[in-house]
Structure 1
Amino acid sequence: MTQGSGTAKDVRRRHDREIVALAVPAFGALVAEPLFVMADSAIVGHLGTAQLAGLGVASALLMTGVSIFVFLAYATTAAVARRVGAGDLPAAIRQGMDGIWLALILGALVVAAILPTTPELISLFGASDTAAPYAVTYLRISALGIPAMLIVLAATGVLRGLQDTKTPLYVAVGGFTANAVLNVALVYGAGFGIAGSAWGTVIAQWGMAGAYLVVVVSGARRHGASLRPDAAGIRACAQAGAPLLVRTLSLRAILMIATAVAARLGDTEIAAHQIILSLWSLLAFALDAIAIAGQAIIGRYLGAGDAAGARAACKRMVEWGIASGVVLGLLVIVARPVFLPLFTSDSGVQDTAFAALLVVALSQPISGVVFVLDGVLMGAGDGPYLAWAMLVTLAAYTPVALLVPTFGGGLAALWGAMALMMLIRMLTLWLRTRSGRWIVTGATR
């Protein structure tokens, strides 16, 4: 073996260790978050159907309102990682504090908008007369935890940028455990009903935010970074996050269009669609963990001025994305006969979902590349391109999806349109990474 090939192998092994060290804890933290809603649903479900329906409407509104601000995590990760790569930890933490202050401001604005309009929002989402009162109760109380949720997003981004994904995992597991215990105690022990579930979630979310703030503040004091709000820094964070907000809204629009088209296909199709969408989301968590590692690693390389290292890391992560996609696709194919009966005993729904799941399985290698390249460009701070690429994808996907019922296509055809959407995303992201224009070195982009 030549020295050159040995060196190349050493580089790949180093990248592999970094990817695994960051991606595995990130995956655990990503999976822990949806467990909040699952725990609430399991506990509230025993109160009655109306309460569970109210929780469903309120939690959908709540999660939508929070998820559109996921840029707080993404943009902060990239900015902090660059400063880490440049060897300026005080500036890295100061950058993270700007993101946390922005999260607190946005959270306060969202709460101020939700509280007086809660009944109207619940009505807009079509809650029944029996479920609406429970939905209003849950949303009004749980909205008080929105600032904490956004602080968690921003602080998670800070720690990821600092190359730490283990602390977010510990906080997420602790938050989920506290949420479950508080829900049981307040819903049944104290007899507060659905209000107890909401208060339990609020307390758990603020506990998580508090834990993150202790970690970040202690780091700031250790490195002499200022904790005071800085208007220019907060404004810069908002400007960096705006393109990622456009990207997120475009992706949400794609998922909403898919659900709307599935509903037009019939009750069996929409039921099968919801099952497939839940699986697709779970697979996305696994691939997103690699993307998160990409954000942190690429940002650090570019901050250190190592363009060659960033290219090599990008190449290796794409290989990871493809391999992970192949493995996940095979697992979906093998598990289809076991997976579907877990969600429904309706043979019609199972048959409808069966073919669509095959489409999802075959498209997983494409999804693997998409998630990785998305993370690479986020780590590079290439938000404007990501926003443009997602708008192009939305424009191309929408007519194809809407024409599925017109041409007599079923759920498999609709998910074929989703696979096409991912293929378009892959092409736009691949063209950008191939061009090299995303490689901008330095502590700031």
Structure 2
Amino acid sequence: MDVTRGSGLRRRLRSPHDREILRLAVPAFGALIAEPVYLLADSAIVGHLGTPQLGALGLAGTALQTLVGLCIFLAYATTASVARQVGAGDRRSALAFGIDGLWLALGLGVVLALVGTLVAPAVVEAFGPSEAVHEYAVTYLRVAILGMPALLLTFAGTGVLRGLQDTRTPLWVAGASYVGNVVLNVLFVYGFDWGIAGSAWGTVLAQTGGAVALVVVVVRGARRHGASLRPDLSGIRASMHAGVPLIIRTLTLRVALLATTYVATSSGDTALAAHQVAFTLWNTLSIALDAIAIAGQAIVGRYLGASDVRGTRATTRRMIEWGIGAGALFGLVIVLARPLYVPLFTSDTEVQALLAQVILVFAVFEPIAGVVFVLDGVLIGAGDGRYLAYAGLLTLVAFLPLAWLVYATDGGLTALWWAFGGFMVARLVTLVVRERGTAWLITGAQSAGRS
């Protein structure tokens, strides 16, 4: 057999997967990057009000982001459920699942907003800020938490559209919300002289506008295909049931990241400063890798709904290759570009030197991170949340002793990042073991998460 012809054939067979991955991943990346840009814009606007206001924004933002991170299951679980129905050829049921997700998001968002306004002072107090920061942080948090229903509706609406294989609409909505956020923040903070409360109100209104736009798109689709818009309690319970394992999975990740930050804090100000920059870089690159994972959620859910195991396997293999390639490229770039960007973050030579060491460790594990993100998305798309929850607990149990060892021996920041790399390796092992098996390959309209 002609080897050249065989290689060309393989390339042609792969190209449809590549086009599909890119079609979903590129817009998803644009929508994902909008949230950090939101925060940067808010910081730039509030920063000119004064140091206490900026510190209050950082404190309140940390509390909000923790809560928001736990609710991301509304996007992930909805994507998987809707994509599976699309693959099964039942668009009406796909949109019915989407409507259930929207109702769950609205109810949960209202509860969190009501509770949040009551406990805001206690949450801020737990951080132990100064009196000036405390006052501003409570003011911002009490207003910003009112946007929780809109934010969760945005998650669910985005999940519905991703499941319908549409990542462009969420991108356009995110872009418009960002522009609206900047305009409203400037107007309220400086035009109306509302101070930090103006920033919170601007963000809430921008989030509300984005949520309304996504809900309108989903509702129009539901009406077009005859899906009921009324709340279905059994469907809402099923959506919550599918989401609980993903909440546990997310909690394990958050605990690991908090433990890492805690150990870095104990290593001194230089280590904490270097860790903050390294962690920011890691988060930024994670957004790009997560875009491939989101494509995996939508594509795998659709293939399994269509009972196409072969297509699921082929697409998964190709996305793993994408993850490895993207991770290796990011790792190489971040090492070679160190002289360009490290001085931009700090002029402290000790921090620069430590950061340069940490980045080398960071880069080593980027290809592994690429595979981890991809397989995480694949299994979420398959509705395999229960396994991800157990795997998350297992990897957390494996990581915490490593973090404690660095803390107990005063091993320093470089050792801490090697330990965090061990956490990523543990996640890789649990995900690869699962992917190599067949237990997650449940085909048809019903996924493991809804059975």
Structure-2-length-normalised TM-score: 0.97
Deviates more, 1:237-246 or 1:345-354: 345-354
Counterpart for residue 393 of structure 2: 391
What do the CA deviations read for 1:44-73 (whole angstroms, capped 9, x no partner)? 000000111111111111111111110111
Q: How does 1:148-167 map to 2 (within 5 A)?
A: 148-167=150-169
Counterpart for residue 436 of structure 1: 438
Deviates more, 1:334-343 or 1:37-46: 334-343
Q: How does 1:35-50 map to 2 (within 5 A)?
A: 35-50=37-52
What do the CA deviations read for 1:104-160 (whole angstroms, capped 9, x no partner)? 111111112111111111101222111111101100111110111111011110010
> Which one of 188, 202, 208 corresponds to residue 186 of structure 1?
188
Q: Does 1:333 align with 2:353?
A: no
> Which one of 201, 210, 214 corresponds to residue 203 of structure 2?
201
Counterpart for residue 312 of structure 1: 314
1:9 Cα deviation after fit = 3.0
Counterpart for residue 292 of structure 2: 290
> Which one of 30, 38, 61 corresponds to residue 28 of structure 1?
30
Q: CA–CA distance in 2 between the matches of 1:125 and 1:114?
A: 16
Counterpart for residue 96 of structure 1: 98
**Does the C-alpha gap of structure 1 residues 299 and 4 become closer, same or farther in structure 2, counting only changes over 3 Å?**
farther
- The total of aligned residue pairs comes to 445
Counterpart for residue 261 of structure 2: 259
Read off the aligned partner of 2:171 and give its amino acid letter.
L
Structure-1-length-normalised TM-score: 0.98
SS in 1 for 2:132: coil
Counterpart for residue 413 of structure 2: 411
Read off the aligned partner of 1:60 and give its amino acid letter.
T
**Unmatched runs of 5 consecutive residues or more in structure 1:** none
Q: CA–CA distance in 2 between the matches of 1:113 and 1:403?
A: 38
Counterpart for residue 130 of structure 2: 128
**Unmatched runs of 5 consecutive residues or more in structure 2:** none
Q: CA–CA distance in 2 between the matches of 1:36 and 1:293?
A: 23
Counterpart for residue 368 of structure 1: 370
Q: CA–CA distance in 1 between the matches of 2:169 and 2:266?
A: 44
1:249 Cα deviation after fit = 0.5
SS in 1 for 2:344: helix
Read off the aligned partner of 1:187 and give its amino acid letter.
V
Q: CA–CA distance in 2 between the matches of 1:172 and 1:49?
A: 29
What do the CA deviations read for 1:16-38 (whole angstroms, capped 9, x no partner)? 00000000110111001111111
1:6 Cα deviation after fit = 5.6
Q: Does 1:241 align with 2:247?
A: no
Counterpart for residue 86 of structure 2: 84
Read off the aligned partner of 2:356 and give its amino acid letter.
F
Deviating 4+ runs (over 4 angstroms): 1-7
SS in 2 for 1:405: helix
Q: CA–CA distance in 2 between the matches of 1:117 and 1:367?
A: 36
1:7 Cα deviation after fit = 5.1
SS in 1 for 2:445: coil
Q: Does 1:276 align with 2:287?
A: no
Q: CA–CA distance in 1 between the matches of 2:341 and 2:396?
A: 30
Counterpart for residue 51 of structure 1: 53
Q: CA–CA distance in 1 between the matches of 2:57 and 2:387?
A: 37
Q: How does 1:96-115 map to 2 (within 5 A)?
A: 96-115=98-117
SS in 2 for 1:183: helix
Counterpart for residue 141 of structure 1: 143
Q: CA–CA distance in 1 between the matches of 2:431 and 2:56?
A: 40
Read off the aligned partner of 1:56 and give its amino acid letter.
G
Q: CA–CA distance in 2 between the matches of 1:93 and 1:10?
A: 34
SS in 2 for 1:130: helix
Q: CA–CA distance in 2 between the matches of 1:5 and 1:277?
A: 40
> Which one of 70, 73, 96 corresponds to residue 72 of structure 2?
70
Q: CA–CA distance in 1 between the matches of 2:339 and 2:23?
A: 33
Q: CA–CA distance in 2 between the matches of 1:127 and 1:146?
A: 24
Deviates more, 1:307-316 or 1:111-120: 111-120
1:339 Cα deviation after fit = 1.6
Q: Does 1:346 align with 2:362?
A: no
What do the CA deviations read for 1:140-191 (whole angstroms, capped 9, x no partner)? 1111101111110111100100001111111111111100010001100111
RMSD of aligned alpha carbons: 1.1
**Does the C-alpha gap of structure 1 residues 61 and 241 become closer, same or farther in structure 2, counting only changes over 3 Å?**
same
1:406 Cα deviation after fit = 2.2
Q: CA–CA distance in 1 between the matches of 2:335 and 2:78?
A: 37
Q: CA–CA distance in 2 between the matches of 1:50 and 1:9?
A: 57
**Contact conserved, 2:109 with 2:148, CA < 8 A, in 1?**
yes
Deviates more, 1:2-11 or 1:30-39: 2-11
Read off the aligned partner of 1:22 and give its amino acid letter.
L
Q: CA–CA distance in 1 between the matches of 2:441 and 2:222?
A: 29
1:432 Cα deviation after fit = 0.3
What do the CA deviations read for 1:339-364 (whole angstroms, capped 9, x no partner)? 21111111111111111111111110
1:407 Cα deviation after fit = 2.3
Read off the aligned partner of 1:52 and give its amino acid letter.
L
Q: CA–CA distance in 2 between the matches of 1:50 and 1:5?
A: 61
